[in-house]
Amino acid sequence: MSKSKVLSSAIIAGLILSASPIALFAAGGGSGTVTYKGEGKIGAVLMNPFDIAPLTAVIKNGGYKLTNVKVVVEGKDSGGIPISYDVADNKVLLYGGIPVWGMYPDYENKVNVSYTLRDLNGEAQNIKETYTIYAPPISLYGSGTKQKRVLPQAKVVVAADKSVKQDLYLMNHLSSTLPNAAQVVWNNPVGGAIEWDYETYVWIVDTNGDIRWYLDTSKLRDPNDLRKKGNMMGFDQTKDGALMWGISQAYMKYDFMGREIFHRLLPKSYIDFSHHLEETSKGTYLMRVASSDYKRKDGKNVRTVRDVIVELDKDGNILDEWKLMEILDPYRDVNMLAMDQGAVCLNIDAEHAGQTKSKEELEDAHAPFGDVAGVGAGRNWAHVNSVNYDASDDSIVISSRHQSAVIKIGRDKKVKWILSSPEGWSGELAKKVLTPIDMRGKKIDCGESGSKCPGYLNSEGGFDWSWTQHTAYVIPEKSKSNLLHISVFDNGDSRGMEQPAIVNMKYSRAVEYVVDEKKMTVQQVWEFGKERGFEWFSPITSVVEYMPKTDSMMIYSATAGLGDVKAFQRGEVELVPFLHEFKYGTKQSLLEMKFVDSNTIGYRALKVDLQSAFK
């Protein structure tokens, strides 16, 4: 072979080896590559386009201009729920095609799309197509010993009423069996809650209980990286339809397709986000964090634990902060003395189930700094698990689990009122404790530690304080003038500031209060859960929230089954969380589901609006 032919062969071979797959599969003569072959009338189907939402896809636009896009993901089998949504023209441009959301895992999904296409001559065509798209099985971290399936199986107990039939629920669970959790401890200064580091499960179900989306958290979380450790919590859907949440040292915002909008570290003055993050009606962000370096009155520097609220603007600039150790009394211990140490938030410890701490064990001289129940800055004295903005007077409402108190605080950092049993509050704070009343406005005598209230029932209604509660949300749609409606999940541990003689006497409640902010009174107007007894009891986590679009109350009793921690640790009982919706002000069930066969620890549920995600 001549030298020139050898050289030509080498050049051709090099071009073949360096060519793209598109060029290699190009057919025919001419220069350049040939366009990839599309599916249907437009482009190819790209699965999981942003790498964190495996049950999503984009039908590429194939170079055409698409407008007036509508999508319907057909329901599985005869009883499946179809998911339909319109896609704004700018969202088609954002994704480079038609976003497909809501496919069933490990299933050939039928996806119907309609759109207006302008061809190369500028002529408009109205097109309808059906795509068959296979979505892969769910693949997430498995904890091994106690977990039975990767995600809990939802079972419908009460079928969805037509008013909520098309609704979707984001579920947030955590796994406490991760062996490499708690591998880092803050030092210099001491304290903080960085050891609290569990695997996270986030998915969305329809009202049949079928999974229609999940988050691949392995792409966002790394227990070996300080910046990526922690529990993903505080999921909130923002006004633009996206999802926002936090994870220990960072907070982030992604859209429903998995596209990153921002992913930021906390401002340097703060550490250890957990529990709650929300967008206010002003478009600012409220989150529960802690201080990264706090000088106590005794001269010691500590990292604090779950006792600071910070407000940020949309660009991450700090607008305000509430240091609760300076606003409240971090040495009030009466409720902590009654808490079951076997389940203090997600610190599940069967060895201490049913036990309480002594006053000496809570005090400065004995308790270590860090994520432990104890008094004073640097310990978990407040355990704030929600913060909610009240636009009516530019205030915040917090839920402090370890104080068994719902508290309203103004922009001036002054306490407006305290919804709590009055024991242990002193000075000016004691004056802010609300007085319970019945439906006729008559004062209710709850007795010491609220001992008379749990059984208080007559023709005028009932009342009880909330105990180690989780979430306290303003209901602006029902509030008026000086009457503020508040929804609370009353977990019920330390009820009456004691542990009952028998563990199965415990119960939880979803409850609605009305606070008269002028008269400084509180009235209980609705509750659910007490009648369900110990089976429904959630010692930690959970949520109750008013849903204005359906005029309903959504409740998630997220750790039902965990009441007997020792039996749970022995594998004798399982976690069976319950999700409910009730017509507002009634116990008319619009939906009830329970989640079985997982034993991951439920945190919260969030009803999401799919339509706003693609506007």
pLDDT tens for 479-530 read: 999 999 999 999 999 999 999 999 899 999 999 999 999 999 999 999 999 9
Q: Dihedral sign, CA of 52, 54, 56, 62?
A: positive
Residue 374 contacts residue 190 (beta carbons within 8 Å)? no
CA triple 435-440-445, angle to 5 deg: 40
pLDDT at 349: 60
pLDDT at 14: 40
Residue 192 Rama label (left phi>0; alpha psi -120 to 50; beta) = left
Catalytic residue (one of 173, 470, 485, 580): 470
pLDDT at 22: 36
Q: Is the pLDDT of residue 93 over 80?
A: yes
Nearest residue to 604 via CA among 345, 315, 275, 331: 275
CA atoms within 13 Å, Cβ hemisphere of 140: 30
Bridge partner residues of 473 (DSSP): 487
pLDDT at 573: 83
Lowest mean pLDDT among 122-136, 342-356, 596-610: 342-356
pLDDT at 23: 38
Average pLDDT of span 73-93 = 96
Q: Is the pLDDT of residue 591 over 70?
A: yes
The letter for the amino acid at 580 is H
Average pLDDT of span 195-207 = 94
Q: How many CB atoms lie within 10 A of CB 271?
A: 23
pLDDT greater at residue 460 or residue 253:
253
- Determine the Cα–Cα distance for residues 23 and 25; give it in Å rounded to an integer: 5
Average pLDDT of span 192-196 = 90
Q: Per-residue pLDDT tens for 225-242?
A: 888 999 999 999 999 999
- Token reading at 580: 């409910």
Determine whether 361 is exposed, middle or buried from the number of CB atoms within 10 Å of its CB (0-12, 13-18, 19+).
middle
Average pLDDT of span 31-47 = 79
φ/ψ of 558, rounded to 5, equals: -80, -20
φ/ψ of 51, rounded to 5, equals: 75, 5
In sequence order, the 6+-apart residues with CB closer than 8 A to the CB of 73 are 82, 83, 84, 100, 101, 102, 103, 109, 110, 111, 112, 212
In sequence order, the 6+-apart residues with CB closer than 8 A to the CB of 86 are 69, 70, 71, 611, 614, 615
The letter for the amino acid at 313 is D
Nearest residue to 244 via CA among 276, 268, 270: 276
pLDDT at 353: 59
φ/ψ of 196, rounded to 5, equals: -75, 90
Euclidean distance between the first and the last CA atom of the chain, given in angstroms as a whole number = 65
Determine whether 182 is exposed, middle or buried from the number of CB atoms within 10 Å of its CB (0-12, 13-18, 19+).
middle
Binned at pLDDT 50, 70 and 90, residue 446 comes out as confident
- Determine the Cα–Cα distance for residues 360 and 447; give it in Å rounded to an integer: 26
Residue 471 contacts residue 544 (beta carbons within 8 Å)? yes
Percent of the chain with pLDDT over 90: 73
pLDDT at 265: 97
* pTM of the predicted structure, to 2 decimals: 0.92
pLDDT at 365: 76
pLDDT at 454: 60
Lowest mean pLDDT among 238-242, 266-270, 363-367: 363-367
Q: What is the mean pLDDT of the chain?
A: 90
Bridge partner residues of 56 (DSSP): 101
HEC profile for 169-223? EEEEEEECCCCCCCCCCCCCCEECCCCCCCEEEEEEECCCCCEEEECCHHHCCCC
Binned at pLDDT 50, 70 and 90, residue 155 comes out as very high
Lowest mean pLDDT among 47-51, 143-147, 213-217, 340-344: 340-344
Binned at pLDDT 50, 70 and 90, residue 78 comes out as confident
Residue 378 contacts residue 190 (beta carbons within 8 Å)? yes
Q: Is 470 a catalytic residue?
A: yes
Q: Per-residue pLDDT tens for 4-34?
A: 444 444 433 443 333 333 333 333 444 566 6
Q: Is the pLDDT of residue 36 over 80?
A: no
C-alpha dihedral (487, 490, 491, 497), degrees to nearest 10: 150
The residue assigned the tokens 């750790």 is: 559
Q: Can you tell me whether residue 390 is helix, strand or coil? A: strand
pLDDT at 202: 98
pLDDT at 344: 60
Determine whether 352 is exposed, middle or buried from the number of CB atoms within 10 Å of its CB (0-12, 13-18, 19+).
middle
Average pLDDT of span 557-571 = 84
The letter for the amino acid at 466 is S
pLDDT at 443: 92
Strand (E) positions, 359-508? 384-390, 395-400, 405-409, 415-419, 435-437, 457-458, 461-462, 470-474, 483-490
Strand (E) positions, 232-346? 232-237, 243-247, 250-254, 260-265, 270-271, 277-279, 285-291, 294-295, 301-303, 308-312, 318-323, 343-344
- Token reading at 524: 């209980």
Lowest mean pLDDT among 106-115, 175-184, 416-425: 175-184
Q: Is the pLDDT of residue 341 over 80?
A: no
- Determine the Cα–Cα distance for residues 459 and 499; give it in Å rounded to an integer: 29
The letter for the amino acid at 497 is M
Bridge partner residues of 107 (DSSP): 135
pLDDT at 361: 77
Q: How many CB atoms lie within 10 A of CB 98?
A: 26
Q: Radius of gyration over alpha carbons of the chain, in Å?
A: 27
- Token reading at 560: 């039902």
